[in-house]
Amino acid sequence: MKKLDFNTGWTFRRLDDSGDGVPVRLPHDAMFTEKRSLRSKGRHNIGWFESHDYEYRKYFTPPEGFSSLLLEFEGVYRNAQVFVNGSAAASRPYGYTNFYVDITPYLRSGGENEIRVIARNADQPNSRWYSGSGIYRPVWLYAGAEQHILPNGLKIRTLSADPPRIGIRVETARPGTVSVRILDGNGTAVAETACESGRERELDIPGGRLWSPEEPNLYTCAASIGSDEARETFGIRHLAWSAREGLTINGKRVILKGACIHHDNGLLGACAFPEAEERKIRLLREVGYNAIRSAHNPCSKAMLDACDRLGMLVMDEYTDMWYIHKNAFDYASSMRQWWRQDLADMVDKDYNHPSVILYSTGNEVAETGQKQGIALTGQMTEYLHGLDAGRPVTCGINIFFNFLYSCGFGVYSDEKARKEAQKNPNKRKKAVGSEFYNTLAGLLGDKTMKLGATLPMCDRKTRDAYANMDVAGYNYGILRYRHDLKKYPDRLILGSETFCRDAYRFLELAKQAPRLIGDFVWAGMDYMGEAGIGSWEYGDYAPMETEDPGWLTAGSGRLNILGFGGGEAAYTAVALEKETGPRLAVRPVYQTGKHTPSAWKMTDAMESWSWPGCEGRTAAVEVYARAAAVELLLNGKSVGRKTLKDTCNVTFRIPYAPGELTAVAYDAGGNRLGSSGFRSAGPETVLTVSPEAPAVKPDGLAFVRLRYTDEAGIPKPMEKHTLKIRVENGTLMGFGNACPYNPEGYRSDTAKTYYGEAMAVLRGGETGSVTVTVTDEQREYRICIPIEEGEKC
C-alpha cells in the first residue's frame, strides 16, 4: 500500500471547550500545553501537569484510484476513539501501541471527509511518569488497490548468518505471486526471487554483510504485486541464547550494557520526532551503552529505525502493570482484554528490526508472585513465541517488592485510592506499587533494597514466574546473581533495572558468567515525571520540599534532560569499557548545604575546575579509570595517589585552587597508561551558542546548546543568567535548562541557566538559514544555521 503523510491540517481543542480548536501539526502533545499546578491529579508522577480529554479533527479528500484506505496511529494517549464522518470506526485503550483503522466503509466519495479523534486523559492518576496526551506519534494514510500487500505483510527473518540466508513471507489482499528484490545500502539489487503470498521463501544473499552493534549493515526488501510495492529495512542478524553461551549475535557472545529510557523527549514533551529519537540513541551510544530498554511501554517506530542504523540493541517492553492497579485509572482495567492484541501489534512493529533482541512482558508486576500471575507469565511468553520464535522473552521483576507485596506492603485498593483522592491536594499521597518501592529506596538507600532482594522469601516469590520466561529479569537484584547462577544452572539472568554505581561490578561478573547476559541502568537519560526522585539539588536551584509543582523531571539520568553528561556519564564510559580513562569530575565546590537525597543518583560531579571564589575550600575530585592506580596533579604537583581494587573510581579531597587539574593512570608495574584533565576558565565571560549540527534539514529540528564559557570555550558552571531567545525563519519548539526543579518549563522564549547552560530546539524553515538571537542581562548573541538543500524531514 502507498504510505502517505497524514500529519498536517489538524485542529485541536479540549473536549469540553467550545469552538473549532487551533491548528496543529502532528505529532502533538496536548498535556505539554497545560498548566502545572497543585490541581494536577497525577501530581509529581506526571510533572504536575493538569490533564483533560482532547479532540483532534481533520478534513481531507481521499486520493483517487485506490479501493482500500487505512489510517495508522502510531500512538494516542489514551483511550482513543476514532470517528469517520461521525461514525465510530475504532477505539484503543492502550496509549503506547500503534493501531490501524480501516476507514474505507465510512468514506463519502466526491468531497471532503471528516476524521475525528478523541484522546481521554482526564481520569487521573493513570501513570507513574509523564505520559503526554493526544496524538503524540505520527499518523499515516495507507492507500491500496484491490490487490495489495497488507500493512505489516512483509516480514523478513534471518535463517543463517553463515552462509547469509533469509526467509521472506508476504501477505496480500488476494492470493498471488510476489516479486522480491533485495537492495544493499547503495540501492543496488543483490538478490531477487518470487514467492507465493502467505508462504515463506528462503533466499541466499551472496556476500551478505551481517548486522551487529559494531557493524549495523542494513538491506532493503522490496516486494511488489501488480501496481503495489512494499519496502522494509532489515539486517542479516542471527540471534541465539543458551545456558552454555549466554546471548549471542552471529555466533559471538554479546553482553548487554543497557540503559532504561522513558519515551518523552524533554524539551519537546512526549512528541516522537525522528531527529529527537535518533539524537537520544546517539548520545547514549557515545556514553558506552549498546542496548536500551523501552521502559515501560513499546517504543516508537522512529526509535527502532535509529537503533537499526546506529547499532543499538533493544528490549521492547509491553507495560508497567497487568491486572493489579498501580494507579486508580491505569491500564490494569483493560489489560486482560487487550494483551494479546497489544503484543501482536508490538511484534508486528518490531519483527523486521535487527536491533530488537528481547521482548519484555512487564515491569515490577507483583502478579508474578501470585498463582494466576505466574500462569499469565507463561501464557504471554508462549503467545510471543507463537508470534516470533526468534527472540527471547523476559519480564522485569522487582525481587524485593514481590516479597513486600506478599506481606501487604504497597498494595493498591480502590478504597485506599478513594481516601487519597479526598485528601488535601497539598498533602503527600501514600504510595502503592512501584511508587511505594521507589519511595522506600529513596528513604533507605540502594544498599537496603539490594540486600532485601537476597532474603529467602524473595526467591520463593519469583522462582515460578522466572521458570515461565526465557530470561529472568532482576530489578535491583545484583546481590543475588552469584547465588542464583549456582542454584539455577539453566537460568539466564538479566539485570533489567539497576543502580548506576553497580555498572563496574556487573560487567566484571558478566565476563565470567555467560548466563548473566546484561544490565539496564535506571536511567540512561533523565525524563519528565517521577519529579525529583533521582535529583541531587541544593537551595540555590531547588527547594527541599518535593511537593512543589515546580518539580518537573526525575533527575536520575546519566545524561540530563538536555542530553548532556557529567561525572556519572564519565564513570559509565569507563565502567562499561567504552574507554579506559582516566576521566575526572568535580562535585560543585561552592555547594555546602544539604542536597535532596536519591538512591538513583551516584554523584553530582561535573567535568569542570572553574569555581571562582572557592579558593581553599575542599573539593571532591572523582577519578574514573581502569587501572591499578591513579595520581592527581594540581598545577603540575602531585596532591595524591590512590590504588584501585575491584573498582574503577576513587575520590580525592583537596583544597581548591585555580589552574590545571590532571589525573594520571598507572598499571600494576607503575607504567603510565594515560592522563586527562581540565583548566580553570579565564576571567572573561561569553555565551557560547553552538548548534549540534552544522546545518538543519528543511523543516527539520536543530538542537542548540547555550553555555557560558571563557573566550577559549572553557565552561563556567557558576554563571547564572536569564536568557531570551528569538528565532527567524524557523520555529522555537522548546527552550529550557536541565534542572529537575523547573517552574518555567520548556515552552517559553525565556529560560534560566542551570550550572551555566541551557538548550533550545527549533524547527527550520524551507530554504535559506535560521537566525537565532539570544540576549542576557548585558549582551546579544546571534548565529545563523544554514538550511540544507534537499528533501524535507
More confident residue, 759 or 599: 759
Cβ atoms within 10 Å, residue 679 = 17
Q: What pLDDT, on a 0 to 100 scale, did the predictor assign at position 210?
A: 98
Q: What pLDDT, on a 0 to 100 scale, did the predictor assign at position 525?
A: 98
Q: How confident is the model at residue 391 (pLDDT cuts 50, 70, 90)?
A: very high
Record the cell numbers describing residue 68, joined without a space: 482500500
| pLDDT at 313 exceeding the cut of 60 | yes
How do strand 769-775 and strand 780-786 relate by DSSP bridges? antiparallel
Q: Which residue has the cell 537519560?
A: 525
The whole-number average pLDDT for the span 757-779 is 97
Q: Which of 322, 295, 331 is nearest to 125 (CA)?
A: 331
Q: What pLDDT, on a 0 to 100 scale, did the predictor assign at position 404?
A: 86
| pLDDT at 182 exceeding the cut of 70 | yes
Record the cell numbers describing residue 343, joined without a space: 503484543
| pLDDT at 469 exceeding the cut of 50 | yes
| pLDDT at 425 exceeding the cut of 70 | no
Q: What is the DSSP letter of 539?
A: T
Distances (CA, A) of 454 to 459, 460, 517: 8, 11, 20
- How would DSSP label each residue in 427-472? SPPPP-HHHHHHHHHHHH-HHHHHHHTTSHHHHHTTHHHHTTSSEE
Q: What is the SS3 assignment for 255-278?
A: CEEEEEECCCCHHHCCCCCHHHHH
| pLDDT at 747 exceeding the cut of 50 | yes
Q: What pLDDT, on a 0 to 100 scale, did the predictor assign at position 793?
A: 46
Q: How confident is the model at residue 581 (pLDDT cuts 50, 70, 90)?
A: very high
Cβ atoms within 10 Å, residue 658 = 17
- How would DSSP label each residue in 13-55? EETT--SS-EEE-SS--SGGGS-BSTT-SSGGGGTTB---EEE
Q: Which of 326, 321, 365, 315 is nearest to 339 (CA)?
A: 321
The whole-number average pLDDT for the span 380-397 is 98
Report the SS3 class of residue 473. strand
More confident residue, 281 or 404: 281
Determine whether 57 is exposed, middle or buried from the number of CB atoms within 10 Å of its CB (0-12, 13-18, 19+). middle
The whole-number average pLDDT for the span 710-716 is 97
What is the model's pTM? 0.96
Q: How far apart are CA 312 and CA 289, in angstroms?
A: 8
Q: Which of 401, 556, 377 is nearest to 467 (CA)?
A: 377
Contact between residue 29 and residue 54 where contact means Cβ atoms under 8 Å apart: no
Handedness of CA 350, 354, 360, 361 (dihedral sign): positive
| pLDDT at 501 exceeding the cut of 80 | yes
Contact between residue 621 and residue 584 where contact means Cβ atoms under 8 Å apart: yes
| pLDDT at 597 exceeding the cut of 80 | no
Determine whether 186 is exposed, middle or buried from the number of CB atoms within 10 Å of its CB (0-12, 13-18, 19+). exposed
| pLDDT at 438 exceeding the cut of 90 | no
How do strand 189-196 and strand 177-183 relate by DSSP bridges? antiparallel
Q: Where are the alpha helices (DSSP H) in 288-411?
A: 301-310, 332-350, 371-387, 399-406
Q: What pLDDT, on a 0 to 100 scale, did the predictor assign at position 543?
A: 86
Q: How confident is the model at residue 448 (pLDDT cuts 50, 70, 90)?
A: confident
Q: How confident is the model at residue 386 (pLDDT cuts 50, 70, 90)?
A: very high
pLDDT in tens, 45-69: 999 999 999 999 999 999 998 999 9
Residue 266 dihedral angles phi and psi, to the nearest 5°: 60, -110
| pLDDT at 422 exceeding the cut of 80 | no
Q: Which of 618, 770, 591 is nearest to 698 (CA)?
A: 770
Q: What pLDDT, on a 0 to 100 scale, did the predictor assign at position 433?
A: 64
CB within 8 A of 289, min separation 6: which ones? Answer: 257, 258, 259, 312, 524, 572, 576
Please report, rounded to a whole number, the percentage of residues in the chain having pLDDT higher than 90: 90
